[in-house]
Amino acid sequence: PQTLSMFFPRAPLTQTNSSPITLQDPVFIADLHLSVAVPTLRSAFAAFMRAFDSHPALINRQELVILGDFFDAWLGDDTRGDYEDVLSSLTHFVKTPNARGETRRLFLMHGNRDFLVGTGFTKAVGATLLADPVVADIQGIKTLISHGDMWCTADARYQTVRARLRRPFIQFALLSLPLFIRRRVAENARAKSQSVKAQVVERTILDVTPEAVLKDALRYQTGLVIHGHTHRPGTHPLSETPVQFTPGEPESCGTRWVLGDWVYQQEALIKGTALVFNAGSPTALEVKDLIATH
C-alpha cells in the first residue's frame, strides 16, 4: 500500500488504515445511504448524533464506527460541501467528550456506494478511514468488522465490478475527472438504473456466503464478525459446529452480527439499527427509539 500511495496519492483505497484497532465502548452503524435527495433522512441522522449528548443509551459511548454505505453515492471529497449538516454533526461528535469526559473517536469504512470517500473528507471531520476488513478489539473481544459486500461471493458479476473499482489506478482516474463530468456520469447511471428498474425488476442484493465469512473469521482468528451491506439485520452462527476461532479461547460456533440499513418513509425513520456493547455483550438498538424524544 505504501508504494501504491506514492503513485496514486488520491486513491482512497490507499488512504485506509488496515492495522487492528482498539475500541472501548463503540456504536456501530451502516448503510444509511445518505443523499442530497433525501434531506429528511439526513435530519434523522442529525437527531441520532444529538442523542450522543443526551440519550442515556449513548452518552457514555466512546466510538462511532460507520461500516460503509454511509453515503448513497460519493463523487469525491470536493463534493463535501453538499453535506454541510452531516459534516457538522460528525465534527461536533469528535470535538465533544462523552458524559464521562472521555475523548470520542470516529471511524469510517468504505461501502460499495461510497468507496471514493477519501482523507479530504475524513480529515475534515476528524475520522479514521478504515480498510475492509479490519480487526477490532472490543472490550477484549477480538472482532472482524467489514462492510460485507466482499462476502457476497455468489454474485460473480458484482465481484468483478468490485475488484475493478478497488484498483488504485481506477480510483485515481475517476477522481481526476472534472466534477461536472463525475456528476453527469452519476446522473446517467441513476437514470439508467431507473429505466431498467421500470422495465424489469430491481437487482436485489444477494446475501453473504456463510462459508466465505467463516473462512475469514478463521483466518483473522475472530469469533465475532460485524458487517452491513445486505440490509438483512440479524444474528447468525459463523459455524455449524464449535471451532476454535481465537487461540486460548474455548471452542464456539461464533456469531455474525448484521447491521440494518436506515429507511425514512412517510415522515418517520422506519428502519435503522445501532449496535452497542453492554458489559461485553452486543446489543442492537432501534435508531427510531434513540431519536424519538430528540
> Which grid coordinates belong to 93?
461528535
> Which grid coordinates belong to 145?
468488522
**CB 149 to Mn ion: min, Å:** 5
**Strand locations in the chain, DSSP E?**
21-23, 26-29, 63-67, 105-109, 127-130, 134-138, 141-146, 224-227, 234-237, 255-258, 263-265, 268-271, 273-278, 281-286
Report the chain's C-alpha Rg in angstroms. Answer: 19
**CB 173 to Mn ion: min, Å:** 22
**CB 31 to Mn ion: min, Å:** 6
Cβ-based nearer residue to Mn ion, 33 or 104: 33
Phi-psi region of 221 (alpha: psi -120 to 50; beta: other; left: phi over 0): left
Q: Does 146 bind Mn ion (CB under 5 A)?
A: no
| Residues of this chain, 95-114, that bind Mn ion according to CB under 5 A | 111-112
**CB 60 to Mn ion: min, Å:** 30
Cβ-based nearer residue to Mn ion, 184 or 197: 197
**CB 111 to Mn ion: min, Å:** 4
Counting every residue, how long is the chain?
Answer: 294
Cβ-based nearer residue to Mn ion, 142 or 229: 229
Q: What is the Cα–Cα distance from 21 to 136, expressed in whole angstroms?
A: 5
Q: Does 229 bind Mn ion (CB under 5 A)?
A: yes
Q: How many residues form the binding site for Mn ion (CB under 5 A)?
A: 4
Q: Does 231 bind Mn ion (CB under 5 A)?
A: no
Phi-psi region of 247 (alpha: psi -120 to 50; beta: other; left: phi over 0): beta
Binding mask 53-92 for Mn ion (x = CB under 5 A): ----------------x-----------------------
List interacting residues with Mn ion (CB under 5 A). 69, 111-112, 229
